[in-house]
C-alpha cells in the first residue's frame, strides 16, 4: 500500500495538540511505515510539495494569515481534520470573542497592568507585515469545510493514533464513550 501523505499546521493554537501527537511515542516508528509528512512543523517544511491525503489542523483562525493557511490546506488536502478544541470551536483564544477587538488591543498594548510605561508612547502594533487580526476567533469549520473533528484539549495521543490508523487504512473509527468524557 503506498504511503499516505500527511500535512499539519498550528493556527491560533498552543502546539499542545502537536505535542499530544508526539505522545504516541514508539508508535511513531509504526506511523512512518504508513505515512510521509509534507508541510508540517514536525519537519519544518514551510510549503506544500505535493497534494496530501490528510491535513491535521490545530487551532482556529484569529488573523488573516491563519485563514490563508487554512484555505491552502483545504485546497491541498483530500481530508481535513480539526484537531482539538481550538480548531473545533475556537478554544481558549476565543475567550476574546465577547470583547470588542479594539478593547482587546487597547488592554494588551495601551492600558493593561502588564504594559510597561516609559518615554516612548505605547502603540498598538500596525506594521503592514504583521498578520491582520480578525474581529473574533473563528473555528475552522466556519472558514472551510472540515471532514472530521478530534475532541480534547488536547485530544489524547491514543485518540490521535486511532484516528490516523483509521484514516490511513480506511477502517471505521470506533470511539468509546470515555473519548468525550473528561472527568
Sites of contact with ligand SF4 (CB under 6 A): 13-14, 16-17, 58-59, 84-86, 91-92, 153-154
The nearer residue to ligand SF4, 17 or 35, going by C-beta atoms, is 17
| Shortest distance (Å) from residue 88 CB to ligand SF4 | 8
| Shortest distance (Å) from residue 147 CB to ligand SF4 | 18
Closest residue to bound ligand SF4 by CB: 16
Residue 140 has phi, psi (to 5 degrees) of -60, -40
Angle of the 157-169 helix axis to the 27-34 helix axis, nearest 10:
20
| Shortest distance (Å) from residue 152 CB to ligand SF4 | 7
Distance CA 18, CA 108 (A): 27
> Which has the closest alpha carbon to 130: 107, 109, 103?
109
The nearer residue to ligand SF4, 33 or 144, going by C-beta atoms, is 144
> Which has the closest alpha carbon to 49: 106, 5, 109?
5
Strands 52-58 and 148-150: unpaired
Contact 179, 157 (CB under 8 A): no
How far from the centroid of its chain's Cα atoms is residue 175's Cα? 21
The nearer residue to ligand SF4, 6 or 137, going by C-beta atoms, is 137
| Shortest distance (Å) from residue 4 CB to ligand SF4 | 23
The nearer residue to ligand SF4, 14 or 31, going by C-beta atoms, is 14
CA dihedral 14, 18, 24, 25 (to 10 degrees): -90
The nearer residue to ligand SF4, 9 or 133, going by C-beta atoms, is 9
For the chain, what's the residue count?
A: 183
| Shortest distance (Å) from residue 10 CB to ligand SF4 | 7
Amino acid at each position: 500500500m503506498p504511503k499516505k501523505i500527511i500535512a499539519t499546521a498550528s493556527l491560533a493554537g498552543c502546539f499542545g495538540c502537536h505535542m499530544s501527537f508526539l505522545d504516541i511515542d514508539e508508535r511513531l516508528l509504526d506511523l512512518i511505515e504508513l505515512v510521509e509528512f509534507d508541510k508540517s512543523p514536525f519537519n519544518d517544511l514551510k510549503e506544500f510539495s505535493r497534494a496530501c491525503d490528510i491535513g491535521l489542523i490545530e487551532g482556529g483562525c484569529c488573523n488573516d494569515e491563519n485563514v490563508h493557511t487554512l484555505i491552502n490546506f483545504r485546497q491541498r488536502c483530500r481530508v481535513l481534520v480539526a484537531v482539538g478544541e481550538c480548531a473545533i470551536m475556537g478554544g481558549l483564544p476565543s475567550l476574546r470573542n465577547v470583547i470588542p477587538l479594539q478593547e482587546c488591543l487597547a488592554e494588551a498594548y495601551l492600558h493593561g497592568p502588564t504594559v510597561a510605561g516609559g518615554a516612548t508612547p505605547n502603540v498598538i502594533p500596525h506594521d503592514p507585515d504583521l498578520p491582520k487580526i480578525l474581529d473574533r476567533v473563528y473555528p475552522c469549520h466556519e472558514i472551510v469545510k472540515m471532514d472530521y473533528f478530534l475532541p480534547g484539549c488536547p485530544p489524547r495521543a491514543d485518540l490521535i493514533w486511532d484516528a490516523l490508523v483509521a484514516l490511513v487504512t480506511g477502517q471505521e473509527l470506533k470511539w468509546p464513550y470515555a473519548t468525550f468524557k473528561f472527568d
